[in-house]
């Protein structure tokens, strides 16, 4: 017999979690389940909540490398100017605002930026700055649009972030403050290939480590040791930036200890995968799912479905070979894009592997890209084309199924990387798809 729920969300990233939470909020009596195969791409992402940083370009356009456009100051003001088919255009500007509010409620103190409609400019680990709408509390003191001088601290065993270079780059980018960088060795790290979770754990648990300088003092707490290592490099800067490794479970406490010890503000610079800020956001969302009574089934893929009369009857989950039917009134597909494998490709075609929903794309794969790596890449826009209800449309523009909606990167028609709109689209479409599914499930 099938495991039965009212709303079934497939996919456990930002869009899927938002959809499940929105459904649970809209229909408090509904039973909502989230099924996620493997882990989401949240921990690939920097943890920033981008809404819109740059106006979308047009597909296939070749452009030179480097600066193309000015960053958008107020993303919400631009939402109504987007081309037809863009996910924001589909759901409408108001829904985007609602979704951001929904997120702000969920995130609470963990995120900042909700006090204004304006984008913040945040330094990246490559030394550039990027526009974003919400940022983790850990990054709040690191904004490039804040004119206080900053010391950046890198570690010789973390080659992704070269602090002196990043500082020089931030200055080249015209940021209104002086930045300086130093590279230190991280107290307590024994091997050169320690994972970022190891750094975070040392600080979370304040493990005892050899005090820096190898003095006879013996062992001290990792936080104190780190602060001591940084202290002598401060030259009056009121804030110090670290790569985003300052704790996993207790980031606020770690930052506070360091700030107290150094007498300055401490911030994190978001990093690429594996990203602790992304991981923390994931933890936050899953705690919220648990509180909201959403049932989570993870580690197993949805592999098949049965449909009748234009509706999905049930889907089939593969549990190490056993096929488990899951039934619901409403379904939300939030399986991600090319990276999350919600969209797949072969030499001949691009497809959505679960329901085989229509994915518009050129038949010649040499038209899937342009020659400039940062040009207007068609492949970056691969995904489903939905109606305004976010129901994926088939090749004749009819909904594929009446009770299936799609959210997040599985949708096409936008280039989140160029626009800096990834999290915003996931929130907005997840919110809308979840709300509608909740409404129609009861």
Partner 1 sequence: MAHDTTVLVLGGGSTGCGIARDLAIRGVDVTLVERGNLTGGTTGRMHGLLHSGGRYAVSDQASATECIEENEILRNIASHCVEETGGLFVQRPEDSDEYFREKLAGCRDCGIPATVLSGREAREIEPYLAEDVARAIQVPDGAVDPFRLCVANALDAERHGARVETHAEVIDLLREGDDIYGVEVRHDSGPGKRTHATPGTTEEITAEYVVNATGAWAGRIGAMADLDIAVRPSKGVMTIMNVRQVDTVINRCRPKGDADIIVPHETTAILGTTDEEVDDPDDYPEEQWEVDQMIDTLAELVPIIEDARTIRSFWGVRPLYEPPGTGTQDPTDITRDFFLLDHDERDGVGGMSSIVGGKFTTYRAMAEEIADHVCAKLGVDARCVTAEEPLPGSEDIAVLEEGMDSFGLRSPIARRSKQRLGSRAPDVLETNENEANPVICQCEGVTRAEIQDAVEQSGSDLNAVRIRTRASMGNCQGGFCCQNMANELHPRYDEQTVRDALDELFQERWKGQRHALWGEQLSQAMLNYALHATTMNRDNDPANAPAQVDYAQFDGGA
Partner 2 sequence: MSEAEQPIDDGVPSDQSSDDADDEFEPVQVFPESEEMDLRPGADNCYKCSTCDTNCPVAEVDDEFPGPKFQGPEQWRLKRQDDHDIDESVMKCSNCMRCDSSCPSDVPLSQMHNTARGEYVEENMSKFSREYIRNRMLANYRRLAPLASMFPRTANFVMGLSVTKWLGEKTLGVTSERDFPEFATETFREWWTKRGGAHVESEDKRIAYFHGCYSNYNTPEVAKALVRVYEHFGYEIMVPDQSCSGTPMFANGMLDDARRAAETNVRELAAAIEDGADIIASCSSCSMSIRQEYPELFDFEDTDTVAEHTWDAVEYLRVHEDLEAELEGTSVGDEFDDFAYHAPCHSRNQGLDGQTIEVMDAIDGIEAHDVGDSCSGISGTYGWKEENYETSMKIGEDMFEHMAAAEAETGLTECPTCSMQMEHGTGYEIRHTLEVLEAALVGSSAQSAPATEPN
**Judged by CB under 8 A, which stretch of 100-108, 169-177, 259-267, 316-324 contacts partner 2?**
316-324
Residue 47 makes contact with partner 2 by CB under 8 A = no
Strands 32-36, 7-10: pairing is: parallel
Question: What is the b/e burial string over 312-347, where b = at least 16 CB atoms within 10 angstroms of the residue's CB?
Answer: bebbbbeeeeeebbbbbbbbbbbbbbbebbbbeeee
**Judged by CB under 8 A, which stretch of 29-37, 174-182, 251-259, 426-434 contacts partner 1?**
174-182
Q: Rule CB under 8 A: which of 296-315 touch partner 2?
A: 296-300
Compute the CA torsion angle 162, 168, 173, 177 (nearest 10 deg). 110
Residue 168 makes contact with partner 1 by CB under 8 A = yes
Among 317, 380, 385, 423, binds partner 2 (CB under 8 A): 317
Half-sphere exposure at residue 176, Cβ-oriented, CA atoms within 13 angstroms = 6
Residue 106 makes contact with partner 2 by CB under 8 A = no
Choice between 32 and 229, CB closer to partner 1: 229
Q: At what angle do helices 222-231 and 196-204 cross, to 10 degrees?
A: 100
Window 416-435: contact mask with partner 1 (x via CB under 8 A):
xxx-x-x-------------
Q: Which does 298 bind (CB under 5 to 8 A by kind): partner 1, partner 2, none?
A: partner 2
Contact 39, 364 (CB under 8 A): no
Choice between 36 and 441, CB closer to partner 2: 36
Window 185-214: contact mask with partner 2 (x via CB under 8 A):
----xxx-xxxxxx-xx---x---------
Q: Which does 197 bind (CB under 5 to 8 A by kind): partner 2, partner 1, none?
A: partner 2
Window 40-79: contact mask with partner 1 (x via CB under 8 A):
----xxx---x--xx----------xxxxxxx-x------
Contact 231, 212 (CB under 8 A): no
Among 100, 107, 152, 158, binds partner 1 (CB under 8 A): 158
Q: Which does 144 bind (CB under 5 to 8 A by kind): partner 2, partner 1, none?
A: partner 1
Closest CA to 46 of 126, 114, 144, 155: 126
Query: DSSP code of 372?
Result: S
Encoded tokens for 230: 């940084």
Cis peptide before 55 (omega within 30 of 0): no
Q: What residues does 351 pair with on adjacent strands?
A: 344
Contact 356, 398 (CB under 8 A): no
Question: What is the b/e burial string over 219-237, where b = at least 16 CB atoms within 10 angstroms of the residue's CB?
Answer: ebbbbbbbbbbbeeebeeb
The site that binds partner 2 (CB under 8 A) totals a number of residues, namely: 42
Q: Which does 345 bind (CB under 5 to 8 A by kind): partner 1, partner 2, none?
A: partner 1
Closest CA to 21 of 99, 111, 135: 99
Choice between 251 and 386, CB closer to partner 2: 251
Contact 271, 244 (CB under 8 A): yes
Question: Min. distance of Cβ 216 from partner 2 in angstroms?
Answer: 24
Among 107, 144, 261, 317, binds partner 1 (CB under 8 A): 144
Among 3, 234, 253, 307, binds partner 2 (CB under 8 A): 3
Q: How far is CA 378 from CA 289, 360, 408, in A?
A: 35, 11, 18
Q: Which does 115 bind (CB under 5 to 8 A by kind): partner 1, partner 2, none?
A: partner 1
Choice between 97 and 341, CB closer to partner 2: 341
Residues 141, 144, 149, 152, CA torsion sign = positive
Q: Rule CB under 8 A: which of 276-335 touch partner 1?
A: none
Question: Min. distance of Cβ 128 from partner 1 in angstroms?
Answer: 5
Contact 419, 428 (CB under 8 A): no
Q: What does residue 351 show for φ and ψ, rounded to 5 degrees?
A: -145, 165
Burial of 41 (0-12, 13-18, 19+ CB in 10 A): buried
Choice between 94 and 372, CB closer to partner 1: 372
Choice between 198 and 402, CB closer to partner 2: 198
R_g of the chain computed on alpha carbons: 23
Choice between 263 and 374, CB closer to partner 1: 374
Q: Rule CB under 8 A: which of 214-253 touch partner 1?
A: none
C-alpha distance across the termini of the chain, in Å: 21
Q: Rule CB under 8 A: which of 324-363 touch partner 2?
A: 324-325, 339-341
Residues at the interface with partner 2 (CB under 8 A): 1, 3, 38-41, 43-44, 189-191, 193-198, 200-201, 205, 249, 273-274, 279, 286, 290, 295-300, 317, 319-322, 324-325, 339-341
């Amino acid at each position: 017999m099938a495991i039965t729920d009212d709303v079934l969300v497939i996919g456990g990233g930002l869009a899927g979690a938002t959809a499940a939470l929105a459904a649970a909020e809209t229909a408090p009596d509904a039973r909502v389940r989230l099924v996620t195969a493997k882990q989401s791409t949240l921990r690939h992402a920097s943890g920033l909540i981008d809404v819109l940083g740059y106006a979308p370009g047009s597909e296939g356009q070749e452009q030179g490398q480097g600066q193309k456009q000015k960053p958008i100051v107020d993303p919400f003001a631009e939402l109504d100017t987007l081309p037809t088919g863009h996910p924001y255009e589909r759901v409408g500007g108001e829904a985007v605002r609602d979704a951001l509010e929904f997120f702000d409620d969920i995130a609470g103190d963990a995120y900042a930026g909700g006090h204004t409609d304006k984008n913040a400019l945040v330094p990246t680990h490559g030394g550039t700055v990027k526009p974003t709408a919400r940022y983790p509390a850990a990054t709040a003191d690191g904004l490039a649009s804040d004119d206080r001088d900053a010391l950046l601290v890198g570690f010789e065993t973390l080659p992704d972030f070269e602090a002196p270079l990043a500082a020089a780059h931030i200055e080249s980018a015209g940021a209104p403050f002086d930045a300086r960088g130093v590279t230190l060795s991280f107290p307590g790290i024994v091997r050169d290939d320690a994972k970022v979770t190891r750094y975070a754990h040392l600080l979370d648990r304040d493990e005892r480590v050899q005090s820096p300088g190898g003095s006879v003092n013996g062992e001290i707490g990792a936080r104190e040791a780190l602060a001591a290592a940084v202290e002598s490099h401060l030259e009056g800067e009121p804030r110090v930036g670290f790569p985003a490794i300052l704790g996993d479970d207790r980031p606020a406490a770690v930052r506070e200890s360091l700030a107290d010890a150094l007498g300055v503000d401490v911030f994190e610079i978001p990093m690429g995968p594996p990203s602790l800020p992304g991981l923390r956001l994931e933890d936050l969302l899953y705690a919220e799912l648990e509180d909201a009574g959403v049932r989570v089934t993870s580690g197993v893929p949805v592999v098949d479905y049965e449909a009748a009369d234009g509706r999905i009857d049930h889907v089939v989950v593969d549990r190490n070979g056993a096929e488990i039917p899951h039934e619901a009134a409403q379904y939300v597909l939030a399986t991600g894009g090319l990276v999350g494998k919600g969209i797949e490709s072969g030499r001949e075609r691009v497809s959505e592997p679960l329901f085989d929903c229509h994915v518009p794309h050129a038949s010649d794969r040499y038209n899937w890209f342009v020659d400039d790596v940062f040009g207007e890449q068609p492949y970056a826009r691969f995904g489903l084309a939905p109606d305004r209800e976010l129901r994926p449309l088939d090749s004749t523009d009819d909904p594929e199924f009446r009770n299936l909606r799609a959210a997040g990167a599985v949708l096409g028609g936008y280039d989140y990387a160029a626009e800096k709109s990834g999290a915003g689209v996931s929130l907005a479409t997840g919110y809308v798809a979840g709300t509608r599914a909740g409404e129609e499930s009861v």
